[in-house]
Amino acid sequence: MIFSKDADTYASFEKIYDADGTVWIDAVAANALVAKTPYFIIGDEFGPKAISLSDITPYCYIGFPAKAWDSGGVARIQIGGLIEDAVTPELSIAIGHAVKLDGGAIADADADYTGTAGQFGVCATASTTSTTQDLMLVPERILCTT
């Protein structure tokens, strides 16, 4: 949900649910966003804000925009449900393994999802040295430790 107050545009913290189980949140883009690339979604004076994974933040959502967005725009970003071809570093990962944040990059947790710090989703399709993954995103904020 997007709303205006004075001359500014704000985004709501309300989640948007699709019939297929996909969960979205609207967030202000701190910089230009690339489709299917992961971003932190943090709280900001304008509501949720999408920032780069290199800007380590302690408690946030991990989200993937379905399309590219310009800086300052209010982007609809996927935070839950199945995402196909999510952009990742080169990974070899088994079905059911959790994906986590490790030093500002997505990594294989080498175990099933347990919800421990940094885990935000589950691998839905096995891959060998691929830079895109099919992931089932868990629509909860995570604690990032690195």
Mean residue pLDDT across the chain = 89
| pLDDT tens by residue, 25-45 | 999 999 999 999 999 999 888
| pLDDT tens by residue, 84-110 | 999 999 999 999 999 998 878 899 999
In DSSP notation, the chain reads -EEEETTEEEE-S--EE-TTS-EEEEEEESS-B-TT--EEEEEETTEEEEE-TTS--SEEEEEEESS-B-TTSEEEEEEEEEEEEEEEEEEEE-TTEEEEEETTEEEEEEEE----TTEEEEE-S-EEEEEEEEEEE--S-EE---
pTM as predicted: 0.90
Instruction: Give the residue extent of every domain in the chain.
Output: 2-80, 82-143
